[in-house]
Structure 1
């Protein structure tokens, strides 16, 4: 979800534009223009690095001064139930969707040690036999080695996890399982010269140090790929020609089976924790056998495996993960958190106060 500051900036921009044309509209919200916003407060809220619960809620659009000018319209017809399903199938789907909505609104579960815990049906549970990573891979991607050359095998399925660390562990494990030559694509990083960073001694910042820096939204320094593996774009880009390209087939979305070529791009990370600016050049893609829950927002999948090595940690993550799948038969959950009281219960995070102004 976009922060309220972005909408307030748009409001001021439109007011300035309309002020130069129609003086009487300068005091109207968004310059008198009708603006349609779409979103779901049950999903992940704006990301505030190291922010408190209050800061996250206050960053949402319904905490903005503009919210009083908004008219809220609600969707009332569930299109998943309007597709001519048999009565028994429709009832099962309705029960599943009601369960997800109850979780999103904190109406399902019990409070244990000041934390809301929800029970997971045994039908959805993946039993941990030996290696949790291997168990969820065998469930979501059965016969992986035999099928990975078929692009349609990876359509509409993914393993989701709250943390980047678990996602990378699963992706690396899976790419190592596959046959074929492995290619590593290293990034090219360099310091941006600027007098603004005169208080930083850049002489001690070598290439090895730059390669170890991790920033949100950027791939690792070394991108490990094999022919046939699925990848996901980390930026909305218009791929252009170049001397160093990765060829890919689109297997999900409106341009399915279109061939694309993805080039390396130059980026300057804006992470305020880093006391200097540096340029990062890399293919802005990552393996997509598994992805973070936040990254999966707005996608609809047929098969989803939820890997919870630890419980979700922010508002809406549990709801987003469960709602990615079309029906209950396509959802499997693996719980392997040693801190859990039992093997069928996990924690849920939802900020009830964010719904107060809707």
Structure 2
């Protein structure tokens, strides 16, 4: 009994009893602070002081809680704590934690569902599957999506008895996927709790590359928009080189000629770059060094029939145009392969055998319709499989139609993009940066792929300061900054010059056609090159007529990085008439005559006939650098026509098929004005195309 309780009760104590109780109280307070009266030799110690059963006051204090109250509190709050998130950097042991957690529950007879956002990450989990495959999440998921799980199905019964659901690489999935699973589990479990009361453990690393939102605004937070400079230590840099691609390949693949068929050698190394076209150049270069026989495989491309029904113009797309289309996640039209070439899958073929998106293999045989390859990553390393051609389409088409490409579902992987490297762990990595790292987390991802700093080699060029890498702190302020250019449409020549800053991406592989998408219509435009210059040419005259563009215009063209389909915005004439002139001094476009045949009179269309007033027998013609002349009119089948003056103009100006004569009407003097557009002769001696000024 405490001394305070004794005093309140009025119990009389002897002096010795009072001293004993006081010393006991003091000893209890001291022990609560890890001290004792025995630490003070001058102080007496309570006689017969009864210590706790553990003879250790620290243990006693930790076990002195109200167990019944705590049990009730635990049972109440446990039902609410069902969602957890494990966050950790790359290489900190998240996969080890998943393995330990699932092993502990499964060893006691419990069921654990282990899933990941990507196929390559799911291979590292015990019994792992992709989340979309395991839970039948629709692709793409929308705000109203639910999983394709029916009440009473085998999958629904499995989820009812599941003790734990582990979802790795969760930040790589869109929120709609989580919401779809949440709604479905609430329905299956008949509980209005998060995920139906199932215990969910999410994991991931927010420092890695975020998923791309198609057609997003590119903004994360404006308060820290801009660029930051990251200085790379000299020990990682490759500084002395003549050819940057040769230098990074030599550093990453030393003695390649002696090891090009060594599986262990190829399994441990790769070159990483930020853009697909850079990766293609490196792969082509390395492939050219391999002495084995090369075989080329071409795709069969078509457009989805539903798109052709909606817009019949798509059915007229030439095959050459479809072959030139390239986008992420889809192989190119031509695949050049050799035995011993490392490849990377672009689709999930058979997850149970480890054939997932981003799985790396090595080609062992090249057939006509199938390719034999050996898996070199994941728990299924060493397994051989046959890969056929399949139909593929980009999940988010960058074009106004759906492209169907029948090709082998892989790419050569001596080099790969940074995005594709997520989930890979390698001994030797070469980082090739001809351009700044341009999105959130890319530099972090590439540096965390290598197991040791001794295996890291970085080559940076096209920078003012060697070893200094510009990296945006977020995305560009305007997502269209890198994919927009403006150019004058020189109507007099039916020509548009593409700035070098844009067409340099096409060097050595210029497309034959591009598409202009304007006002709901599609126009095919021929691409022409002259020396180091690139032009949009044939087809512009039809584009101009279809949209009544009769003065020099400024065209603003928006397209993807290597895209050949442009959304066109017209900003108006490049040269406006002076606003000081009265309106009667302006001219009006009437019609354009194509020089298809040179031996026929010029017949005036209906649009021109209304400017031939009354019984007028001639019209006044004005041409630049020439005096005004009278052209007599003749009537043929009630249609005004011009004969001899027209033939004289053809001879004088040496007009040929492909040339055009444009007619304007001038209101102030009722004269007709001519503008002649000569067809362009594409040869290197043509200096008339130089209109950069």
TM-score by length of 2: 0.40
Contact kept, 8 Å, 2:219 with 2:474, in 1: the verdict is no
Give the CA deviation at 1:347: 1.9
1:116 to 228, 235, 238: 228
Superposed displacement of residue 33, structure 1: 1.6
Structure 1 position 230, deviation (Å): 0.7
Alignment of 1:321-340 (within 5 A): 321-336=446-461, 338=462, 340=463
CA deviations on 1:144-179 (whole Å, 9 max, x unpaired) are 112102222202211111111111110011101111
In structure 1, stretches of 5+ residues that fail to align are 58-110, 353-358
Alignment equivalent of 1:212, drawn from 294, 315, 324: 324
Q: Which residue of 2 aligns with 1:66?
A: none
- Partners of 1:131 and 1:121 lie apart in 2 by 22
Q: Relative contact order (alpha carbons < 8 A, sep ≥ 6): 1 or 2 greater?
A: 1
1:173 aligns with 2:173: no
Match of 2:203 among 38, 59, 66: 38
For 2:196 and 2:322, locate their aligned partners in 1 and report how far apart those are by CA, in whole Å. Answer: 45
2:226, 2:472 → 1: CA distance? 11
Deviations 1:97-116 (A, max 9, x none): xxxxxxxxxxxxxx9x9421
Q: Mean Cα displacement is larger for which, 275-284 or 316-325?
A: 275-284
Is residue 156 of structure 1 aligned with residue 281 of structure 2? no
Cα offset for 1:295?
Answer: 0.4
In the other structure, the counterpart of 2:184 is: 13
The equivalent of 2:405 in structure 1 is 280
TM-superposed CA distance for 1:35, in Å, is 2.0
- Cα distance in structure 2, aligned partners of 1:256 and 1:156: 13
Corresponding residue number in structure 2 for 1:191: 303
**Aligned twin of 2:604:** none
Judge conservation of contact 1:119–1:345 (CA < 8 Å) in 2: yes
1:128·1:334 contact (CA, 8 Å) conserved in 2? no
> Which residue pairs with 2:435 in the alignment?
310
Q: CA deviation at 1:17?
A: 2.6
CA deviation after TM superposition for structure 1 residue 350, in Å: 4.5
Equivalent residues of 2:226, 2:473 under 8 A apart: no
CA distance in 2 between counterparts of 1:195 and 1:351 reads 36
Larger radius of gyration: 2
Which residue in 1 is equivalent to 2:336?
224
Residues of 2 paired with 1:317 and 1:13: CA distance?
34
Structure with bigger strand share is: 2
* Cα distance in 2 for residues equivalent to 1:262 and 1:138: 30
- 1:170 match: secondary structure: helix
In 1, Cα distance between equivalents of 2:277 and 2:368 = 32
Measure how far apart 1:196 and its partner are. 7.6
Distance 1:33 1:351 in 2: 36
1:197 Cα shift? Answer: 4.2
- Alignment correspondent of 1:347: 470
Larger CA deviation: 202-211 vs 218-227? 202-211
Unaligned runs of 5+ in 2: 1-171, 356-366, 476-693
Deviation per residue, 1:46-103 (Å, 9 max, x gap): 1123533436x8xxxxxxxxxxxxxxxxxxxxxxxxxxxxxxxxxxxxxxxxxxxxxx
**Displaced runs of 4 or more, over 6 A:** none
Kept in 2: contact 1:318–1:349 (CA 8 A): no
Match of 1:234 among 346, 350, 357: 346
Q: Is the 8 A contact 2:260 2:340 kept in 1?
A: yes
Q: Secondary structure at the match of 2:464?
A: coil
**CA displacement at 1:272 relative to structure 2:** 4.0
Q: Find the residue that maps to 1:176 and give its secondary structure.
A: helix
- The number of aligned residues is 288
- State the distance in 2 between where 1:147 and 1:191 align: 42
1-structure distance, mates of 2:373, 2:241: 35
Q: Which residue of 2 aligns with 1:299?
A: 424
Matched, 1:246 2:371: yes
Question: For residues 253 and 425 of structure 2, what CA distance do their matches in structure 1 show?
Answer: 17
Aligned-residue offset at 1:312: 0.8
Instruction: Name the residue aligned to 1:129.
Output: 241
Distance 1:121 1:268, change over 3 A: closer
Counterpart CA distance in 2 for 1:116 and 1:192 is: 44
Match of 1:52 in 2: 217
CA distance in 2, matches of 1:31, 1:168: 47
Q: Distance in 2 between matches of 1:192 and 1:117?
A: 45
**What whole-Å deviation, never above 9, does each CA across 1:302-339 have from its counterpart, x for those lacking one?**
01111001111110000000000111111110001x2x
* Residues 252-292 of structure 1, C-alpha deviations (whole Å, 9 max, x = no match): 22111211111111123343432223322111111111001
CA–CA distance in structure 2, aligned partners of residues 34 and 333 of structure 1 = 43
For 2:368 and 2:266, locate their aligned partners in 1 and report how far apart those are by CA, in whole Å: 28
Contact 1:317 1:349 in 2 (8 A): no
CA distance in 1: counterparts of 2:302 and 2:457, whole angstroms: 43
Does the CA-based 8 Å contact 2:307-2:402 persist in structure 1?
A: no
**Match of 1:37, SS?**
strand
**Secondary structure of the corresponding residue to residue 54 of structure 1:** coil
The structure 2 residue matched to 1:144, chosen from 256, 260, 273, is 256
